[in-house]
Structure 1
Amino acid sequence: MVPSTSSNVAAEAGRRRTFAVISHPDAGKSTLTEALALHAEVISEAGAVHGKSGRRGVVSDWLEMERSRGISITSAALQFAYGDAVINLLDTPGHADFSEDTYRVLSAVDSAVMLLDAAKGLEPQTLKLFDVCRYRGIPVITFINKWDRPGREVLELCDELTERIGLQPMPLTWPVGVAGQFRGVLDLVDGSFVRYTRTAGGATAAPEERLDPGRAEEELGAEWVSASEESELITAAGGEFDAARFLDASATPVLFGAAVLNFGVRHLLDLLVELAPRPSARLDVDERPRALDAPFSAFVFKVQTGMDPAHRDQVAFARVCSGVFERGMVVTNASTARPFATKYAQQVFGQQRSTVETAYPGDVIGLVNASALRVGDTLHDGKPAVRFPGLPSFAPAHFAVARPADLSRAKQFRKGIEQLESEGVVQVLRSDRRGDGTPVVAAVGPMQFEVAAHRLDAEFKSPVKLDHLPYTTVRRLTDPAQRSVVDSGGRSEVLTRTDGTELALFVDDMTMRIMLRRNPDLALEPLVAEGSAGT
């Protein structure tokens, strides 16, 4: 048993850095995730062959569909040591259809690394994610990626951060050479030039050589002078580094690199260890801070099945908020007030797992055989009970009736639907009109239906038929007594979500407006998720 003293908990929490990697699709999140693990020497060779048609699976892309598509469709957790620090890294899907998964992950981290594509800059999903980070006060480090390829002007990219999202860039490195002709970076901390050497396929960490400014100018000439002058312009315009501004999320440190070549990655990893916020007291539902040295508590932000196809187990990912977790302890699920045994607790590294005996605030633990746990549940040890704020369900925009393609697999179909709902892959809606045998599945984006259908077939051996419904407008019905009004409309109906929320669905906005004119007392409210940045 590990002594649960205040000083021990504080010291261990101080070693933790828990952050998410977020961005628009194809900006290089999974590649960067692997590059960070490579520089921490927890993997010996990067697993990506770049060009999606020949891509091998990266450690954080473990679903078969991710490997075949070359995209991340679910978040993944990786924990590893780097020096004296313990890194809890959460790789997230960038596609907007899976943004609900990304937003849940953001509830479990203390900071975020935002990737920008050097050729594209701020893209729509990037803007939304910045808004979510700002809403939650999450400090953001910006890594401008793919500088080895042709891209935009460096000053233009920095100006975009200020002009479009009001975030002051504070560059800590500056690229030497225009995008596509990457010579290395000017380290603005000490003024030296860091030159990188390519390795075969970017499979191993890129060797680095440091040159003093005089030698750099001698060897690089105009490119060095240009980088020095440009960086001075940003610094003079308010971009001098200020740790306090980073921590209050009003400014962002900026680094440049090429994750595919492992250029600039060590700078990022060192910056995270040095500057990223440590775990701190988290507010419970009553907005009371839960001290780090209070008895153990954690909240579940993700549930996943299928990580180990041989065992069909279900893993609940929980962020430790206070105290010391010890494998085997029996904790209480605050949602049900029932005990939960933690005999099977694991440290997660992508799809790889190993038994974890202890964990501290900031750590992400995987609880196996966790069919009793759902996203948003709070786990705690002892009394009084504690509960952290639940995680929001987003307003769905796409709806389909789900039926088993093979009626002899109806039992497996029901089990699969329940599983996908508990993981948050889709929302499941039901009504008296349709019955429990033909639930309606709802999604933020249509690709979620592809994932659901693929997993029902691959994992539960139950092919599914999806009959898409024409609804485009959704509202929350606040008065259940008015359900019949909506159901009698012909082009609308009410469906009930598992959490009891009643959703009024309409074919289009005009249909809803006509119904409201005819029934001015109809109690409808918009569905807006906390921190959804208007999505």
Structure 2
Amino acid sequence: MTQPPLQSIRNIGIISHIDAGKTTVSERILYYTGEIHKMGEVHDGFATMDWMEQERERGITITASATTCRWKDLWVNLIDTPGHIDFTIEVERSLRVLDGAVAIFSAVEGVQPQSESVWRQADRYSVPRVCLVNKMDRIGADPGKVLVQMEEQLGARAVPLQLPTGSEADFAGVIDLLSERLLTFSEQDQGASVQSAPVPAELREKVRAAREKVVEAAADFDDTVLADFLEGKDIAGERLQAALRRGTLACRIFPVVFGSALRNKGVQPLLDAIGAFLPSPLDAPPVIAKRPDGEDPPERLTCESNAPLCALAFKVRSDEGRKLTYLRIYSGVLRPGDTVLNPARGCQEKVARLFLMHSHKRERLDEGRAGAIVAAAGLKEALTGDTLCSPENPLLLDGLAVPEPVVSLAVEPQSLEDREKLTPSLEKLQWEDPTFRVHEDEETGQTLLTGMGELHLEVVCDRLAREFGVKVKTGRPQVVYRETLQREVERREIFHRETEGKVHGGEVLLRLRPLPRGEGLRVSLPEGAEPDLPEELRSALRHSLEQACVAGPLAGYHLTDVEIEVAEAPFQAGVTTENGLRAAAQRGLVMACRKAAPTLLEPVMDLELTVPAEHAGKVLGTLPQKRAQVEGMQSGNGTEVIRAKIPLSEMFGYMTELRSATKGRGTFTMEFARFDQAPPETLKRFGLT
């Protein structure tokens, strides 16, 4: 299969809060571009992009799915991402490699908590966005409110390119403000036919005022448009589009279109907006790659097929027990049989086969060129965030930010056969998901699974049973705490021991200071002391202290919000050794922590509850009992949206309680906010009072 010209490629993702309509929009895109011949619905469990059994049963997206479709002269590589906070890593790694994104907002609910989260993730990677205000047919649809919320909550300059005609059940179509044409969508062929007509006379004044705002936005990016605007001249839609494209690529404005994907309205204009305003690989800024040895200056990679190979592994999937690695190729060409270098793992690997992915289905490729998103089979060592490059030209790309998991669950196999299969099965699931961790409790011997939330771990256990045939018993989810100190301490530790005729010695003077919440861990070593430690011993000392903080001295949780200063680390030739220094550092740290009033920090979540107005008082009354701090309420359309901070430990099983209090009509979303002081009863449980 021949790859299209680079200027025709759009590598985009669809991002939003859960239930804003991402998968429904993806389904319509595939249908109107001819990739599928029958639209599946999320609520029926037949959506193309939701291929996992768990996704179809729950009606939500769990894993990011990639596909490719053609629209006019465009070649669109599309990734449909989850909206649930438990699967935020799927959004993170997708945005890391995408050139553009479509952000979807519900016309009823507007900007929701996870909308903000994915928007900030896109900001972090400077991803240009086109926005779709979806569900325009729903009762309570208020597109004007959504635009205001985008400005206020996201700090985004929204530029509506359309004017909706009709609202709620009467939503009929949109008026394109650039071409000044009324677009309607035929109900006879599921919206496939788009009728274009002149603007009705009664709407012309409204269209003129709305178009003037579009011209004002375009004038900020084109001086000729500004000059003509000030002179009152009419400006062609093509000139406005070119100016708006410049603003969109710079992430300074965000074009907005309107539609109702479920009612098959507004999807084709969205596809046109993707082509008009989102970047091709040639428009994306050059990627910065470093040399693994750190000696040469960073290199700027342009999207050229005749350059040395450089690709990023952004997703790994276990496909029938084998690794399938999703790659974004930034430069060069990759072919089956090529040998590639993985600088992060220090190894070379051979690519067995290349595929173009269509959800979970595969299409064989002869090669992948710069700008492409492909999947490779045969890479045994590569994991999410690894760089693959030409062995003759080693390069290292920045990886991605992986959020810390906050919930753990104890599991044990139900039978001896399950016990034998459990470890390799969990290892394969860890290939796929950097936010899923497995470790064994040294005291109890239990296998502990750690993830982003209850649903995350529930899906993992379900996949163990269905995909790997491993049945496990589970305990109650446990909160993952952090340890910190409340007092400044100083301790000198000296280690001296002779083993097998060789002396191992080490001496350190440690000063430990508590830091403000959220500062993390800092380790500082003495500078300029005489005689100074050799560089290899300094590195070993730092690594030893950092490793000692991974399992805190109290309950085995990470030590955080602490500064560890090595005030002195004298070096004595023939006595000071790496082993001796490590032993002194680790014992000194443990003993110092015990004197520094250690305590526990618990994860606190941002909670948003959406409940019927008549049940809001009852729900509010239960929150103080859960140590929640209510931060605000917002009324609208017969519902109350309650925002609060609440400890994660209070939220286990809360959905059942909420449904009972609201007759099944209440919902909530939450995401990690910070770590804060654990209550006395928790400290007592760990023997810390």
Is 1:336 matched up with 2:341?
Answer: no
For residue 318 of structure 1, the aligned residue among 327, 349, 359 is 327
Q: TM-score, normalised by structure 2?
A: 0.65
Q: Which has the larger radius of gyration?
A: 2
Q: 1:158 is matched with which residue?
A: 147
SS of the residue 1:454 aligns to: helix
TM-aligned CA deviation for residue 337 of structure 1: 3.2
Is 1:493 matched up with 2:498?
Answer: no
Cα distance in 2 for residues equivalent to 1:194 and 1:211: 7
Q: 1:288 is matched with which residue?
A: 299
Cα 1:473–1:438 change in 2 (3 A) is closer
Segment of structure 1 superposing worse, 375-384 or 66-75:
375-384
TM-aligned CA deviation for residue 432 of structure 1: 6.6
TM-aligned CA deviation for residue 32 of structure 1: 0.6
What is the letter of the counterpart of residue 402 of structure 2? S
Q: 1:511 is matched with which residue?
A: none
For residue 416 of structure 2, the aligned residue among 407, 411, 416 is 407
Q: 1:261 is matched with which residue?
A: 263
1:81-480 to 2 correspondence within 5 Å?
81-199=70-188, 202=190, 205-213=191-199, 216-217=200-201, 221=202, 224=203, 228=207, 231-232=210-211, 234-235=213-214, 238=217, 242-279=244-281, 280=284, 281-285=286-290, 287-293=298-304, 294-306=307-319, 311-424=320-433, 426-430=435-439, 433-434=442-443, 438-468=446-476, 470-474=478-482, 479-480=545-546
Cα 1:163–1:432 change in 2 (3 A) is closer
Q: 1:497 is matched with which residue?
A: none
Q: 1:499 is matched with which residue?
A: none
Cα distance in 1 for residues equivalent to 2:217 and 2:673: 30
TM-aligned CA deviation for residue 467 of structure 1: 2.6
Contact persistence 1:420–1:426 (CA under 8 A): no
Q: Percent identity?
A: 24
Segment of structure 1 superposing worse, 324-333 or 132-141:
324-333
What is the letter of the counterpart of residue 337 of structure 2? G
Cα distance in 2 for residues equivalent to 1:414 and 1:122: 41
Q: 1:512 is matched with which residue?
A: none
Contact persistence 2:15–2:81 (CA under 8 A): yes
Unaligned runs of 5+ in 2: 220-239, 292-297, 484-519, 524-544, 562-590, 604-670, 675-689
TM-aligned CA deviation for residue 381 of structure 1: 2.0
For residue 31 of structure 2, the aligned residue among 38, 46, 55 is 38
Pairs aligned (count): 486
Q: 2:59 is matched with which residue?
A: 70
Contact persistence 2:551–2:559 (CA under 8 A): no
Cα distance in 1 for residues equivalent to 2:97 and 2:592: 40
What is the letter of the counterpart of residue 207 of structure 2? S
Unaligned runs of 5+ in 1: 3-8, 495-502, 507-514
TM-aligned CA deviation for residue 429 of structure 1: 4.2
TM-aligned CA deviation for residue 321 of structure 1: 0.9
Cα 1:230–1:178 change in 2 (3 A) is farther
Contact persistence 1:168–1:238 (CA under 8 A): no
Cα distance in 1 for residues equivalent to 2:180 and 2:20: 28
What is the letter of the counterpart of residue 27 of structure 2? E
Segment of structure 1 superposing worse, 17-26 or 156-165:
156-165
TM-aligned CA deviation for residue 521 of structure 1: 10
SS of the residue 1:411 aligns to: helix
| Per-residue Cα deviation, 1:273-296 (whole angstroms, up to 9, x for no partner) | 222112242112465322322212
What is the letter of the counterpart of residue 40 of structure 1? T
| Per-residue Cα deviation, 1:229-254 (whole angstroms, up to 9, x for no partner) | 67257548758762222111121000
Q: Which has the higher contact order (CA 8 A, sep 6+)?
A: 1
Cα distance in 2 for residues equivalent to 1:155 and 1:419: 46
Cα 1:276–1:37 change in 2 (3 A) is same
SS of the residue 2:552 aligns to: helix
| Per-residue Cα deviation, 1:457-497 (whole angstroms, up to 9, x for no partner) | 0111111223346434336776257559934x3xx214xxx
SS of the residue 2:119 aligns to: helix
What is the letter of the counterpart of residue 36 of structure 2? I
Cα distance in 1 for residues equivalent to 2:188 and 2:377: 39
Contact persistence 2:384–2:434 (CA under 8 A): no
SS of the residue 1:261 aligns to: coil
Contact persistence 2:10–2:77 (CA under 8 A): yes
TM-aligned CA deviation for residue 347 of structure 1: 0.6
CA RMSD of aligned residues (A): 3.2
Cα distance in 1 for residues equivalent to 2:316 and 2:597: 40
TM-aligned CA deviation for residue 357 of structure 1: 1.1
TM-aligned CA deviation for residue 315 of structure 1: 1.3
Cα distance in 1 for residues equivalent to 2:592 and 2:172: 63
SS of the residue 2:428 aligns to: helix
Contact persistence 1:140–1:246 (CA under 8 A): yes
SS of the residue 1:244 aligns to: helix
Q: 2:5 is matched with which residue?
A: 12
Cα distance in 2 for residues equivalent to 1:321 and 1:116: 31
Cα distance in 2 for residues equivalent to 1:89 and 1:481: 40
SS of the residue 2:149 aligns to: helix
Cα distance in 2 for residues equivalent to 1:17 and 1:133: 16
